[in-house]
Structure formats: C-alpha cells, structure tokens
Amino acid sequence: MKERVILHCDINHCYAQIEEMKFPQLRNVPMAVGGHEESRHGIILAKNLLAKKFKIKTGETLRDAKRKCPELVIVHPNYDDYLYYTEKVKDIYREYTDKVESFGLDEAWVDLSSSSIFGSGEEVAKIIQKRVLEEIGLTISIGVSFNKVFAKLGSDLIKPSGLVVITRENYKETVWPLPVEDLFYVGKATKRKLEVMNINTIGELANTGVEVLRKRFGKMGEVLWGFANGYDLSNVTHIDYQREIKSVGNSVTAIRDIINYEDAKIVFYVLSESVASRLKESGLKGYVVSISLRNNKLEWFTRQQKRDIPTNISKEIMETTLELLKNNYDFSIPLRSIGISVSMLVPDDYPSQMSLFINEEERDKAKRIDETLDKIRNRFGHYSIHRACVLLDSKLTGFSPKEDHIIHPVSYF
C-alpha cells in the first residue's frame, strides 16, 4: 500500500487570533474571548499568547481569569466571523485536495496521498501556512504524518506556526517520549488509570500488551494502543461527506440558577419544543431521550431512558424528560444548565408498531400542534407564540434555542 500523506492543520488559539487579525492592537495586550458574564456565559473560550503567560486557561470563568490578570481584555465572541474566516482558511486547504475533513471550526485533516503534484506533504504544508498567513492573516500549526492521529499530535507540538513531520522512521523518537495525555482521546480520567498501570508516555502505552489494555479499558484500550503504535487507518473524509446525525439536542445555561422542579419544567418546555422541531426538520424521530444536568458547582451528569415508540413530538419528549428529572434530581444543589437530547434516531416515516394502549389520535393531534407552532414561528419569529407556562418566568425562558446555538462539538468516531 502506498504510504499516506496526511496533514492536520490547526488554527492557533482560533477565536482569539481571529479577533487579533481584525484588531491588530489586541496583539499587544493580554486578551481573551469570553461570553457575557451578565447572562452567565462567563467562561474563557480562547486566549492570546500574552494572556497565556498569565496561565489563563480555556474553560475557566471570567472571574478567575480576571483575578490572575486584572488588565485582561475580554472580547465577546462573534461566531459569524469565526465561521466565515475558518471557512476561508478551509477553502485554501480544498485547493490542494478533495479530502478535507473538519474537526470543529479550527481544525481539519487534509489528505494529500493522491495529489502529489504540489509537492511533498512538508512542502505543501509550508505553502498552506504561508498562504493562510498572507491571505487571511492567521497562523496555523501543521502536523504531517502517515495517519490522522500522529498528524494531529504533530500539529499540537509547536505553537504558533509549528510544522512537525512524523514519519515511520522517526515516530519512535518524536512521539513515544511524549506524555501519554498528548495522545488523542486520552483525557484526564484515562490518564489517571494509565498512571496507576505505570504507563506515563505514549511509548510505554504502545509497548504494553494489547490484551492488558483490552482487559482494563475494553474496546477503547485496543483503540488507544493502535493510536500509540501508528496503526490508525481511518480515512480523511471527502469534502462532500456529511456526518450522519446521531442525536439532536439542545441545552442552555439559564440566566439564573434553576432552584426547583417548576423552574426546570418551564425551561425544559422551551428545549423540548426546539428539539422536537429540529428532529422534524431533519425528518427524524428517536427512541432515547436523555437529559443533562449541571449544577452550580459545575458538576455534570446525564440520564437517559428509552421509549417504546420513537418520537419527535414535544409533548412526549417532555413526558420522558420530566420522569427522568423526577427520578434523578432532588434540587439540593441548584442547577446552572440543563439540556435534552434525543438519540437512537430513525427516519420519521419509519413504520412503527401501533399499540392498543396508546391513543394514536392523540399523538397525531400533538404532532399537528407542534407543526403548527413551527409554522407560526418560521413566519413570525420564535417569540411570537408560547405555551402559557413559560410566561411564569419569561426571563428564565427568554431564549431561542434553535436560533441561538450554532456550534456543535464533534466526536472522532
């Protein structure tokens, strides 16, 4: 088999760098992109190099960040700009191959295996870096390797503007001495477990027997072992490829803490309508309803339940949601954010077994109400029609989940 040439390109501290590109004076001060503290979306999304010196971390609260660096400049996120400029960057990648796979906004794999007319992987990487800097004004780090996992690892090694080539000849020297948490899909929890097994570097992981890992981590142990040894064979998808939808969900960080069942209920109403509406838009329905709850100590968990009949009706999603909520939370600690998602999806016209104990007429009615709501909202806007109960606290429910959220996290698998 011909050796593959895969680039992983990563726009350095993406959101912050785009803001710097738009306003160059921000390069001279410690700056971070963060949400609005007033609406409690107050976490750091990205920071520039000067802010990094103050040990400001992505994901921490604005308050903590300000404590570390009082003169920190906070810029509110402009997602439209981020989508626009990252897409422009990807347009450059797409000039070199038709295999470009996005991984979030700022990262992408570029497969050059069958497009060698522009030069070797390293040469093309240099051209891409130069063009992105000159044409868009952004620096990117690139890893070049023979599989996706090592390419991604390479792009993480030097920031900003790094270029690291990992080959079959040198990966034992470059990759194996690295700490094991640098490997894709080794997070905090996995790292702790590996440490207990005295596995601290990627090399040690690679040289551990695959049986041992499988016993400890199941299927994932085998996957990680393969990653560490460079056996990852997954393909870079074609630019036309559309990820199959596996779940449809919505969540919200409420404007104030959700202190009791009634509060949660009205917020869930808004979310369930949005989820139901998006499911119908995609022509899907799902069996499994899950709720995610995050309390104001930022602890987080999810619970899920499978329904007998797949649904995309807000009333039914709501029933399961409330059941889950009742059985799993007592509000001893107030909730900060909550979410619903529906998974195990099947097409909306997928035949389902009717039940003698379910009133199909009622279901049909509920669905028609949903559809009518959607029609009204499409024409007159989200706030044009509401359930009366959400008006009990219009501040708490005053958000439009369908329109407000844009960016979905993606999974490698």
Partner 1 sequence: MMLYKRYVDVVTLIDKEGTMTPVLIIWDDGAKYKIDRVIEIRKSASVVGGSGILYKCRIKGQVRNLFFEKNRWFIESYHP
User: Least distance (Å) from partner 1 to the CB of residue 34?
Assistant: 20
3-state SS, residue 335: strand
User: Least distance (Å) from partner 1 to the CB of residue 13?
Assistant: 17
Which residue, 85 or 225, is less far from partner 1 as judged by CB?
A: 85
Query: Is 22 an interacting residue with respect to partner 1 (CB under 8 A)?
Result: yes
Give the binding range for partner 1 (CB under 8 A) out of 44-52, 136-144, 206-214, 392-400.
136-144
Query: Is 136 an interacting residue with respect to partner 1 (CB under 8 A)?
Result: yes
Which residues have CB under 8 Å from 18's CB, separation 6+?
11, 81, 82, 85, 86, 138
Q: How many residues bind partner 1 (CB under 8 A)?
A: 13
Task: Kindly provide the residue ranges of all beta strands, DSSP E only, lying in 135-283, ordered along the sequence.
Answer: 140-145, 163-165, 247-258
Give the binding range for partner 1 (CB under 8 A) out of 129-137, 236-244, 285-293, 300-308.
129-137
Residues in the chain: 413
User: Least distance (Å) from partner 1 to the CB of residue 381?
Assistant: 24
Nearest-angstrom CA–CA distance, 255 and 252: 9
Which of 73, 359, 379, 201 has the alpha carbon at shortest distance from 65? 73
Alpha-carbon torsion (348, 349, 353, 355), positive or negative: positive
User: Least distance (Å) from partner 1 to the CB of residue 31?
Assistant: 13
Give the binding range for partner 1 (CB under 8 A) out of 1-9, 80-88, 245-253, 326-334.
80-88
Q: Specify whether the backbone of 226 is left (phi greater than 0), alpha (psi in -120 to 50) or beta.
A: alpha
Q: For this structure, is 323 an active site residue?
A: no
Q: Are strands 31-34 and 73-75 parallel, antiparallel or unpaired?
A: parallel
Query: Is 133 an interacting residue with respect to partner 1 (CB under 8 A)?
Result: yes
**Residue 52 has which token pair?**
């990094």
Site string for partner 1, 83-112 (x = CB under 8 A): -xx--x------------------------
Query: Is 16 an interacting residue with respect to partner 1 (CB under 8 A)?
Result: no
Active-site entry in 19, 20, 60, 107: 107
To 5 degrees, how large is the angle CA 341–CA 345–CA 349? 125
Query: Is 82 an interacting residue with respect to partner 1 (CB under 8 A)?
Result: no
| Binding footprint of partner 1 on the chain (CB under 8 A) | 21-24, 84-85, 88, 133-138
User: Active-site residue numbers?
Assistant: 107
